[in-house]
Structure 1
Amino acid sequence: MSLSFRLRFRPLMTAAVLAGALAVVPVSAAMAQVTAYKQAVAEASFGDETVGAFYRQNGYQPVWTGEGEAFLARRAALIEALSMADIHGLPASRYDVEGLMARMAAAHTVRDMGLLEVAMSRVFARFASDIQTGFLVPSAIDEGMVREVARRGAGEYLAEFQAADPGRYLRELAPHTTQYRALLKLKLGLERELAAGGWGPTVPGGKLAPGDSGDRVVQLRNRLIAMGYMDRSAAATYDAALQKAVQSFQLAHGLEPDGIAGDATLEEINRSVADRLKSVIVALERERWLPRDRGERHILVNQTDFSAKIVDHGRVTFETRSVIGMNTSDRRSPEFSDEMEHMVINPSWYVPRSIITKEYLPKLRNNPNAHGYLEITDSRGRRVDRNAVDFNQFSTRSFPFAMRQPPGRNNALGLVKFMFPNKYNIYLHDTPQKHLFAREVRAFSHGCIRLAQPFEFAYALLAAQEADPKSFFHGVLNTGRETKVDLTQHVPVHIIYRTAYVDDRGNPGFRRDVYGRDAKIWDALSRAGVVLTAVQG
């Protein structure tokens, strides 16, 4: 037996073929071929429990190496899909299409066929999983990326594939989200820019402002024209058109839109096409990690954008600024998905033990009355007299007390918190530190997400269950009592981290890599074989 490079196999002697072959092939020889094939499949799948289980359950029947148009279509569809892996930012070397095709051409015996059958199933299952749910393990790259990715087994993919149109099935494995499709389009555009040589010379450092003129202004103008932020112009001064273009760039990159090209703005303007392309490829992998079902209504917190949004049926219906965790090893906000179950109006702040022992205990040792606005309680919840305790006798491990800040306008959580109970003790909440929302980079918290407009956020959530959500909210708030308000319908919460995305209007946006996580992901992608591609025309 042999396989041609064009994927047209000579028939494998399966049970379905035997009836028409009995006139020329002795039954004993045909049965021997079937047995040899099955043995080869069993041998090749040994140690791979999911693939092995699939073939045991289907009686070692072929998915790829059988006779007829159906098998030919499967082989052709697989080769086509693998050949386009790089379009999705996947490493082509991971699937080794040329090696697989060479192996197909070199298969001459029934045993070769059986070994090839399993090899094709393995590469198919790897590709199917990779393009649907990503191939990197988030937590292995950064401890803050605690997202749990729901991956499926090879047997499930193979069973589905057998019952489906092969080309359509493989095409529909990638995420169906508007964001994923938009990122693919953005990737292609950047690849064309890369092939064309990029956006031209960078702009030398030093602030540029309206009224300035000279060579640096011309370089700034030319780069913004190349990026598509302004029409062609011969002006050598920082005029109104250039100021407007700078503001548009700043808005698209999460910068303060003052129309002045300061150091931070110039740093982003000078980033290369290759840098932006890396961010998009990372964003594609991140999009694959997210749940397929985000929820018709869900909350989306993009850490790099310092924003929190409510999304209804794919459309942003509410958005507010946010503050995320400080960029230190113990305070960075994690990435994960959960479900918001309730809000607490007039919340107490139960101080996390890590904050008690690291920040407050050292001060209590020097002054028992430090942070007097916090109640210290024992294991039974009884208030402790600070002056009756020698705090110097306790270490960070032996400190036996809890600390609580009662409800009030100066409470660290403000006047409302939004709970999606999780093992990371992360939630969304109000804050008395309103001045922080005016900052461009808003990484100041201990890890939780602070909201600039928490009341309006609450109204939007309560609108699904209260006829007058604002009056309901303030009626509870005005009691001054800590009150839990359940959400009759839980709302999925997705805390993400995107340095590249496309907004509702189709406009690309880029953000700074606040925690350096995307740089780590790109390193992992690059080590796996992902490369930047320049596409002509």
Structure 2
Amino acid sequence: MLAAASRRFRHGTALALVALLGGAPGGLAQAVAPVTLTQAPLIRAPLPAEAAFGQAVAAAAAEDEAVAGFYRDRGYRPLWTGAADAGRRAALLAALDGAGLHALPEGRHDAAALVRQFQAAATEGDRGRAEVAMTRAFLSYAREVQSGILTPGKIDKGIVREVPLRDRREQLDAFAAADPVDFLRALPPQHPEYARLVKARLALLSAVERGGWGPAVPAKALRPGQQGQAVVALRDRLMRMGYLGRTATQIYDAAIQAAVQEFQFDHGLTADGVAGEATLAEINQPPVARLRAVTVAMERERWTNIERGKRHIWVNLTDFSAKIVDDGKVTFATRAVVGSTIADKRTPEFSHRMTYMEVNPDWTVPPGIIRRDYLPRLQANPGALGHLQVVDSRGRVVPRSAVNFAAYTAGNFPYNLRQPPGPTNSLGRVKFMFPNPWSIYLHDTPEKHLFQRESRAYSSGCVRLNDPFDFAYILLAPQEADPRAAFHRVLDSGRQERIFLKEPVPVHLEYRTAFTTAKGRVNYRRDIYGRDAAIWQALADAGVAQVAEGG
């Protein structure tokens, strides 16, 4: 499959490799495997000449301690270019040739160039330099397919995720001791989501090659019962996207309405079966736009190539949802409100561990909100924001009459603002804590009306939950015989109290505009913060292949 996919999308690179190696009918792996560097014309100098080879390897690797140390500790024995290394060499060449399958920059993983370098090797020095070139190619490929091409924080300051980069020397030692095919196959993320995204990307590439999904629907809105050419265009796009079976109807009938509803559900839209302006805007997106979203999702999946936890919490900011996942299955889901699209209110992306919930919480206003929003209001009117207490550095409530707000600036305001516990508290009746440098947490809210909206980016950064009590019950279930009763004993007392989780739960705040269901159906969401557009541009700048626009 890998070789077939690479032959299809590398525009002849695999065929060129086969030609360079003399041709072989069994695919790239078989084409490369028989070639050894003791065969003419790859190596023309007699073997062995360990000293010359070792000197060339040492010189070529001198500026890279991981590579230099690896060869030094193995006595400069070859990893790739010896007579016994054909299988290891073939496995890597096949993996490099399939880089396009993973949406990696193909120009940086050029198997044909390595083969040409081998073919041109006339001395042991040449062979040593070819040896190091292949090691560098291995390390570059391993890093990108395992942990991503980009550094997230350089793309957007709101992506504060730490990417799990593997130690390069450890990678080399592990590869040298492993079955090469198995090792290379295990490098990409092993989470089922990644495999489904790879499959979705191939399907989208195929759709683009076929010319897209047909003409855009030329209407602002369409409703059940309507007919005409716009309905025909809607019908045709729904069929080509896989939402509607073959039909010749020109009427917006029940089948089209059901297909529109299914499409709306997959795109985070109100599923009313009416093709309104927002729905048609999504229906008219070309497959190349979806291809970019899936390509970005694959890169994001590589950034989160970590153990996510047997039980974990997944918050997808673009989906405005929070889910509890147990053994790979969603066991609880609730609507969420996330950070506003205003630049300094956007919810950051990171992973952490939830350790406790605070019942009947107070709310200490974050310093950024004080500086940006509240201090100016208090300077204009010291009686404003009457629900908040002014608190000094020792936690004592200070009468407002004792504070001259006009005497302070955003940089030297010495007080905190605090809202006491209660049903109108901005955090509601419970917050879920995974202490982090960005003061982000999940919490209840008295503003329940916001959960009825389709787009829910309204908070100052934290994530509000529509069903926080049910969320608490599920989290407490592993440690309480009656989690509901245990929670309400504290809640109903009115006391501000922490309930610690005996087993901390990983929390992953992610931003996925493309994600799949267990059955492989791809869901798409709008790029509310513009982060994925920036990632796509960075991927394109790094050399990820672009595809021409299609319908």
Shorter-chain TM band: over 0.9
Matches of 1:4 and 1:448 in 2, distance apart?
A: 58
Query: Does structure 1 conserve the Cα–Cα contact (< 8 Å) formed by 2:106 and 2:545?
Result: no
Matches of 1:146 and 1:464 in 2, distance apart?
A: 31
Query: Are residues 1:191 and 2:219 paired?
Result: no
Structural mapping, 1:168-179, within 5 Å: 168-179=182-193
**1:164 aligned residue (159, 168, 178):** 178
Matches of 2:168 and 2:266 in 1, distance apart?
A: 41
Q: CA deviation at 1:532?
A: 4.4
Q: CA deviation at 1:505?
A: 3.2
Query: Does structure 1 conserve the Cα–Cα contact (< 8 Å) formed by 2:318 and 2:513?
Result: yes
Over residues 113-151 of structure 1, what are the superposed CA-to-partner deviations in whole Å (9 max), with x where a residue is unaligned? 111111110110110111111121101111111110111
Q: What does residue 415 of structure 1 align with?
A: 429
Q: What does residue 120 of structure 1 align with?
A: 134
Give the aligned residue type for 1:166.
Answer: P
Structural mapping, 1:295-334, within 5 Å: 295-334=309-348
Q: What does residue 17 of structure 1 align with?
A: none
**1:456 aligned residue (470, 491, 498):** 470
Query: Are residues 1:476 and 2:513 paired?
Result: no
Query: Does structure 2 conserve the Cα–Cα contact (< 8 Å) formed by 1:377 and 1:401?
Result: yes
Deviates more, 1:81-90 or 1:59-68: 59-68
Q: CA deviation at 1:197?
A: 1.3
Q: Secondary structure at the match of 2:406?
A: helix
Structure 1, gaps ≥5 residues long? 13-24
Give the aligned residue type for 1:487.
Answer: L
**1:92 aligned residue (101, 106, 123):** 106
Structural mapping, 1:144-155, within 5 Å: 144-155=158-169
Q: What does residue 63 of structure 1 align with?
A: 79
Over residues 133-191 of structure 1, what are the superposed CA-to-partner deviations in whole Å (9 max), with x where a residue is unaligned? 11211011111111101111221111111111111211111111111111111111112
Q: What does residue 10 of structure 1 align with?
A: 38
**2:255 aligned residue (232, 236, 241):** 241
Query: Does structure 2 conserve the Cα–Cα contact (< 8 Å) formed by 1:145 and 1:334?
Result: yes
Q: What does residue 11 of structure 2 align with?
A: none
Q: Secondary structure at the match of 1:464?
A: coil
Structural mapping, 1:510-529, within 5 Å: 510-529=524-543
Query: Does structure 1 conserve the Cα–Cα contact (< 8 Å) formed by 2:288 and 2:547?
Result: no
Matches of 2:205 and 2:183 in 1, distance apart?
A: 27
Q: CA deviation at 1:231?
A: 1.5
Q: What does residue 211 of structure 1 align with?
A: 225
Query: Does structure 1 conserve the Cα–Cα contact (< 8 Å) formed by 2:164 and 2:306?
Result: no
Q: What does residue 460 of structure 2 align with?
A: 446
Matches of 1:418 and 1:514 in 2, distance apart?
A: 25
Query: Does structure 2 conserve the Cα–Cα contact (< 8 Å) formed by 1:94 and 1:528?
Result: no
Matches of 1:412 and 1:56 in 2, distance apart?
A: 61
Number of aligned positions between the proteins: 513
Q: Secondary structure at the match of 2:264?
A: helix
Query: Does structure 2 conserve the Cα–Cα contact (< 8 Å) formed by 1:498 and 1:511?
Result: yes
Query: Are residues 1:106 and 2:134 paired?
Result: no
Matches of 1:338 and 1:49 in 2, distance apart?
A: 32
Give the aligned residue type for 2:301.
Answer: E
Q: What does residue 367 of structure 1 align with?
A: 381
Q: Secondary structure at the match of 2:398?
A: coil
Q: Secondary structure at the match of 1:440?
A: coil
Structural mapping, 1:397-416, within 5 Å: 397-416=411-430
Matches of 1:240 and 1:40 in 2, distance apart?
A: 72
Over residues 253-308 of structure 1, what are the superposed CA-to-partner deviations in whole Å (9 max), with x where a residue is unaligned? 00011111111111100000111111111111111111421100000001111110
Q: Secondary structure at the match of 1:60?
A: coil
Matches of 1:205 and 1:399 in 2, distance apart?
A: 55
Q: What does residue 6 of structure 2 align with?
A: none
Identity of aligned residues (%): 52
Q: What does residue 45 of structure 1 align with?
A: 61
Matches of 2:104 and 2:270 in 1, distance apart?
A: 35
Matches of 2:208 and 2:305 in 1, distance apart?
A: 32
Q: Secondary structure at the match of 2:345?
A: coil
Matches of 1:53 and 1:424 in 2, distance apart?
A: 39
Q: CA deviation at 1:11?
A: 8.1
Query: Does structure 2 conserve the Cα–Cα contact (< 8 Å) formed by 1:90 and 1:530?
Result: yes
Q: Secondary structure at the match of 1:120?
A: helix
Query: Does structure 1 conserve the Cα–Cα contact (< 8 Å) formed by 2:149 and 2:539?
Result: no
Give the aligned residue type for 1:131.
Answer: V
Matches of 2:399 and 2:511 in 1, distance apart?
A: 44
Give the aligned residue type for 1:342.
Answer: Y
TM-score under structure 2 normalisation?
A: 0.91
Matches of 1:362 and 1:172 in 2, distance apart?
A: 55
Give the aligned residue type for 1:9.
Answer: L
Over residues 199-250 of structure 1, what are the superposed CA-to-partner deviations in whole Å (9 max), with x where a residue is unaligned? 1000124111122222111111111111111122222222222111111100
Matches of 1:438 and 1:37 in 2, distance apart?
A: 70
Q: CA deviation at 1:368?
A: 1.1
TM-score under structure 1 normalisation?
A: 0.93
Q: What does residue 13 of structure 2 align with?
A: none
Q: What does residue 406 of structure 2 align with?
A: 392
- State the Cα RMSD in Å: 1.6
Query: Does structure 2 conserve the Cα–Cα contact (< 8 Å) formed by 1:326 and 1:443?
Result: yes
Q: What does residue 22 of structure 1 align with?
A: none
Deviates more, 1:311-320 or 1:146-155: 146-155
Q: CA deviation at 1:326?
A: 0.4
Matches of 2:64 and 2:132 in 1, distance apart?
A: 10
Q: What does residue 19 of structure 1 align with?
A: none
Matches of 1:72 and 1:196 in 2, distance apart?
A: 39
**2:356 aligned residue (335, 342, 351):** 342
Q: Secondary structure at the match of 1:75?
A: helix
Q: What does residue 505 of structure 2 align with?
A: 491
Give the aligned residue type for 2:52.
Answer: A
Give the aligned residue type for 1:299.
Answer: I
Matches of 1:137 and 1:412 in 2, distance apart?
A: 35
Q: What does residue 20 of structure 1 align with?
A: none
Query: Are residues 1:76 and 2:104 paired?
Result: no
Deviates more, 1:506-515 or 1:245-254: 506-515
Q: CA deviation at 1:533?
A: 6.2
Over residues 52-82 of structure 1, what are the superposed CA-to-partner deviations in whole Å (9 max), with x where a residue is unaligned? 22122222221111122xx000111111000
Q: What does residue 21 of structure 1 align with?
A: none
Q: What does residue 230 of structure 1 align with?
A: 244
Q: Secondary structure at the match of 1:50?
A: helix
Q: Structure 1's 212 and 4: CA in aligned 2 closer, same or farther, altered over 3 A?
A: closer
Matches of 1:146 and 1:167 in 2, distance apart?
A: 34
Query: Does structure 2 conserve the Cα–Cα contact (< 8 Å) formed by 1:369 and 1:387?
Result: no
Give the aligned residue type for 2:58.
Answer: A
Q: Secondary structure at the match of 2:423?
A: coil
Matches of 1:532 and 1:390 in 2, distance apart?
A: 59
Matches of 1:58 and 1:296 in 2, distance apart?
A: 39
Q: CA deviation at 1:4?
A: 7.0
